[in-house]
């Protein structure tokens, strides 16, 4: 039989270590506020568990409600941290209401009627609810095909811990009345041992989720043009090469567009570079609104952009290009009270099997040059007459 008081002391140490790790990570990455919630949750949990170790030493009417409230706060703050990590608002009122209800129930069953089993059932109900809420938040944080592995694992840790807590409550209710959770007992000893594993596991989960978030941020910085949100040139070319290989294997059509804002230098010279930046952002928004998930959109350089359309022939690409040309012309930019009109010229080229991507880029560039030479605000496909 494992000594429950020793397990509680071990839990205190683990919570303190988790709190320190989360706090140090938050000090470096202040924008991830969830780390602060998780550090605070582990710290108050350590305090609550330390009070549990004093059961039978200090007055029960003081120790029991306070210890249970602090331990419950761990679960509430974990839930808050998960919501913060997901970018969702923090439900302060709901969290405080749960804490108040659990504390009131514990006070009743220690001051009015001393019933350890009832207190275990109250704590188990509250913990299960908070654990399931946190697991649900993690699972629905992103679409299923984009769920991060650490989020899945942490959600499963919360779910399994909730099931164990519920099982403990059922066994406690059906067993002989419990005199104290610190009295050596298979159910209580197993519950503290499982808590050690669960807290360690979700601590690793929180830090792994943070690591994945930071890695995703680095990947985004390395691949995304910060001004327009389109792929930068290196990332576009890398993705395009893979898409070209896929098209060559499958025989599916693949079409490339080069898009260039007309007389962009005049906008910078007349209205300033801030206006030019705003126009580039507006243009990117217009193009992105028309794209499918499989399309690749990148900034090739300056005011020139690339668009790669998988499973699309030149006829379909020309229809999209014409729609984009009309959209840009119909939506002038309102900048500091001034209306800045814009147009775009577009060159189209098919990516032929066996040819490198540079061949399609060269062909689209020649078509774009013809569109500029013929008066701008036009769509021309490589090989078309005129």
| pLDDT tens per residue across span 299-327 | 999 999 999 999 999 999 999 999 999 99
CATH number of 4-223: 1.20.1070
Residues 281, 181: Cα–Cα separation, whole Å: 62
The residues spanned by each domain of the chain are 4-223, 233-381
Predicted pLDDT at 174: 83
Residue entry with tokens 């230098």 = 265
According to CATH, the superfamily of the domain at 233-381 is Reverse transcriptase/Diguanylate cyclase domain (3.30.70.270)
Average pLDDT (113-121) is 89
Predicted pLDDT at 146: 52
Closest of 263, 275, 157, 273 to residue 205, by C-alpha? 157
- Which residue(s) pair with 339 in the sheet? 334
Predicted pLDDT at 136: 95
Q: Which two tokens stand for residue 140?
A: 């629905």
Residue 324 CB neighbour total at 10 angstroms: 22
Residue 17 exposed, middle or buried by CB count within 10 Å (0-12, 13-18, 19+)? middle
Q: Which two tokens stand for residue 343?
A: 């147009």
Residue 177 CB neighbour total at 10 angstroms: 9
What is the tens place of the pLDDT at every residue in 14-47?
999 999 999 999 999 999 999 999 999 999 999 9
What is the tens place of the pLDDT at every residue in 154-197?
999 999 999 999 998 898 888 777 667 777 778 878 888 999 99
93-100: long-range contacts at Cβ-Cβ below 8 A with a sequence spacing of 24 or more? 98/72, 98/126, 98/129, 98/130, 99/69, 99/72, 99/73
User: Contact, 119 vs 108, CB < 8 A?
Assistant: no
Residues 209, 35: Cα–Cα separation, whole Å: 10
Q: How does the average pLDDT of the chain come out, rounded? A: 91
Whether the full predicted model's pTM is greater than 0.85, yes or no, is: no
């Amino acid at each position: 039989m494992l000594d429950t008081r020793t397990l509680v002391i071990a839990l205190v140490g683990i919570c303190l270590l988790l709190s320190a790790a989360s706090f140090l990570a938050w000090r470096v990455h202040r924008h991830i506020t969830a780390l602060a919630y998780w550090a605070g949750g582990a710290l108050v949990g350590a305090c609550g568990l330390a009070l549990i170790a004093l059961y039978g030493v200090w007055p029960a009417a003081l120790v029991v409600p306070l210890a249970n409230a602090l331990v419950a706060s761990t679960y509430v703050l974990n839930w808050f941290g998960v919501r913060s990590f997901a970018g969702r608002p923090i439900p302060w009122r709901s969290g405080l209401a749960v804490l108040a209800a659990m504390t009131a129930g514990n006070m009743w069953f220690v001051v009015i009627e001393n019933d350890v089993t009832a207190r275990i059932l109250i704590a188990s109900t509250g913990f299960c609810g908070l654990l399931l809420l946190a697991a649900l938040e993690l699972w629905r944080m992103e679409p299923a095909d984009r769920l991060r592995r650490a989020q899945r694992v942490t959600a499963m840790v919360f779910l399994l811990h909730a099931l164990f807590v519920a099982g403990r409550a059922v066994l406690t209710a059906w067993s002989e009345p419990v005199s104290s959770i610190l009295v050596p007992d298979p159910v209580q000893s197993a519950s503290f041992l499982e808590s050690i594993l669960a807290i360690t596991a979700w601590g690793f989960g929180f830090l792994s989720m943070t690591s994945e978030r930071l890695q995703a941020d680095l990947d985004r910085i390395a691949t995304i043009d910060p001004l327009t949100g389109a792929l930068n040139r290196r990332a576009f070319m890398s993705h395009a090469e893979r898409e070209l290989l896929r098209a060559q294997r499958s025989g599916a059509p693949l079409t490339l567009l080069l898009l260039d804002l007309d007389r962009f230098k005049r906008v910078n010279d007349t209205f300033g570079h801030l206006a030019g930046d705003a126009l580039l952002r507006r243009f990117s928004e217009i193009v992105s609104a028309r794209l499918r998930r499989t399309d690749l959109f990148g900034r090739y350089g300056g005011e020139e952009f690339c668009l790669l359309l998988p499973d699309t022939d030149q006829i379909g690409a020309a229809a999209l290009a014409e729609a984009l040309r009309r959209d840009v012309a119909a939506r002038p930019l309102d900048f500091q009270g001034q209306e800045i009109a814009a147009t775009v010229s577009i060159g189209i080229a098919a990516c032929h099997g066996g040819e490198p991507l540079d061949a399609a880029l060269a062909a689209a560039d020649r078509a774009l040059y013809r569109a500029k030479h013929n008066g701008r605000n036009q769509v021309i496909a490589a090989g078309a007459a005129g």
